[in-house]
Chain A
Amino acid sequence: MNDLELKERWLDDEDDEEKYLINTDDTADPSKEFMTINMGPQHPSTHGVLRLIVTLSGEEVVKCESDIGYLHTGIEKQAETKTYNQALTLTDRTDYLNPLINNLGFSLAVEKLLGITDRIPPKATVVRVLLTELQRISSHLVWLGTHAMDLGAQSTFLYGMRDREKILDIFELCSGVRMMTSYIMPGGLYADLPPGFDVKVAEFLAYFKQKWPEYHTLLTTSQLWYERTKGVAVITADEALNYGVTGPMLRACGIDYDIRKMFPYCGYETYDFEVPLAHNGDVYDRFIVRMYEVDQSMHLVEQALNRLPDGEWQIDDLKIVPPKKYQIATTMESLIHHFKLYTEGYKPLAGEVYSKIESARGELGYYMVSNGTNKPYRMHIRAPSFANLQVMGPSLEGRAMFADIVAAIGSTDIILGEVDR
């Protein structure tokens, strides 16, 4: 395949995939030479401890097999031995670029088990939307930076980290920690917003609105970027559905599935936002979908900031949320409630729930089973990266060059903490 053919292949949207397919059964043919390369688990562009076993014919990928499990920490097993409020802290550690969204997914599931979904105060609901959308921006900035760095654009990473740090400052302001926040908890928020929170968010928005177009000038219109990403690792819409791909990867195939629109939670149906879609399902389209998602998230943060109400941030039920400090100091009942909550916790009725929210990577589902005790009988996390990573190998086999693997990993946006749990 000469250079001209390669260029046509990348630039042609209506490309016939079959033309370039290699017969993967050829690996058994001794007359052909194949090379097997081990990539990872300690490799800078595998985004964690992902191991790939790649079989190559020349530079073309014949087989790409993912080996996961290097970061398996048994979070689902550990959760069975902890009370609900203790298990909340484990959810931070699954998708460590998305802790607040994971907190929210867990909290919504537990609230459904407890039957208190309707009683969450409006301030908590609005702050949840605001913080998770900020989290989505910060997660996309890390994705963009690392993805671009893998393909040779170093500066994007530095700019991305610079702006992400400002978002983490906001999280630090309200929760005290940058990443493992556990700020959103069943029943509302862990603490009230600090004074000056809205000013800080407004400052960030004004700043980031100026900076965001710079990212587009760095990559979106760059010919180099276009040629490295266009037509690479294509997934068709049917294939994506069959594999359970969700999130920006599914929307890059042209399927309009966003849980914030389809099964709204936290009052997303009252916000004005759009769902970016693309149609080719390649690396470039996933890139462009996420780029426009950041715009929509900024818009959502702005709306949430404008409607930020005053009032309580936790539900009025001391069986579920801890009493305020002054209450502990003044009333006996509060002291008892405090003691009971932290020693025993609450006991949802026996039952099960599958609660899903839109993470930065796709459908984040929490399947919780309660048997009426104070600990979850079973907590299963349906991690979006797990399903998205599964399709990466097949999307490369027979249709990609070796260097495309790095582009595919970046655009899949995997978090190994979530894949392995």
Chain B
Amino acid sequence: MTPTSGDTANEPEVEVTTVTDNDLLNDNLFPNVHRSPFRVADAMPTFIVPVNDLLDVVNYLQQQASFTLFEDITAVDWLPRVPRYEVVYHFLSLSSRQAICLKVPVSGENPQLPSITSIFKGANWYEREVYDLFGITFTGHPDLRRIEMPVDWEGHPLRKDYPVTGPRRPNLPSNQFRPDGRDGNTPNQP
């Protein structure tokens, strides 16, 4: 028989600490970190972190602020905007029952940011996925290669300028499929 967490219906909620908010926004620790101005629908604490501060902030979160559970890394491509990409990190603190989101703006030309695999090993595959689908390079990553797409694939599918119909059939409506050589304007060959 395994021990369980007990009969915890209506368990009293542990008070959610906001220490991290104050610490992260503390000018002495991280002067360049500030709150995300974008609407966050469920009020999760979300911060904009500059590329240069990323490793320090993640290290601080894991070592000092008990954010020990690695959750997620992904990216968003805001194409016309500068900087073009936003790499999004999610961590969780089990002791304070709090999740945190970090957003790192990355420029569109030569997108590059430091890898956090030295702090969270789980970041390995997630960073490979972001590299594969967005073409963002993570410096210091032990094994940065494609993970979802074939190794000889060209292009990065989740970029907004990558057509959903695939690289060989550009400028088609997304719900239409035409075989190779038919661009939709010339009549079908006999």
Contact = CB atoms under 8 A, between A and B. Distances in A.
B94 A113 contact: no
A68 B72 CA distance: 18
Interface string B70-99: 111010110000000000101000100101
B51 to A, nearest CB: 20
Contacts of A242: 68, 70, 120-122
A241 B5 contact: no
Nearest to A74: B157
Interface stretch (B6-14, B21-29, B106-114, B177-185): B6-14
B9 A273 contact: yes
Contacts of B88: 367, 380
Contact of B3 (A78, A277, A394): A277
A272 interface: yes
A277 B74 contact: no
Interface in B27-62: 38-42, 44, 46
Q: How large is the interface on B (under 10, 10 to 19, 20 to 34, 35 or more residues)?
A: 35 or more
Interface stretch (A12-20, A167-175, A352-360): A352-360
Contacts of A365: 71-72, 90
A155 interface: no
Interface in A64-111: 68-69, 72, 74, 76-78, 80-81
Contacts of A10: none
Interface residues of A, number: 65
Given A261-B8, A382-B90, 9 more contacts: A74-B157, A77-B158, A241-B70, A242-B121, A242-B122, A272-B9, A351-B38, A367-B74, A369-B76
Interface of A: 68-69, 72, 74, 76-78, 80-81, 112-113, 115, 238-239, 241-246, 255-258, 261-263, 269-279, 285, 288-289, 292, 349-356, 363, 365, 367, 369, 377-378, 380, 382, 386-387, 390-391, 394, 420-421
9 contacts: A72-B148, A74-B164, A112-B41, A242-B121, A272-B7, A354-B44, A356-B71, A380-B74, A390-B125
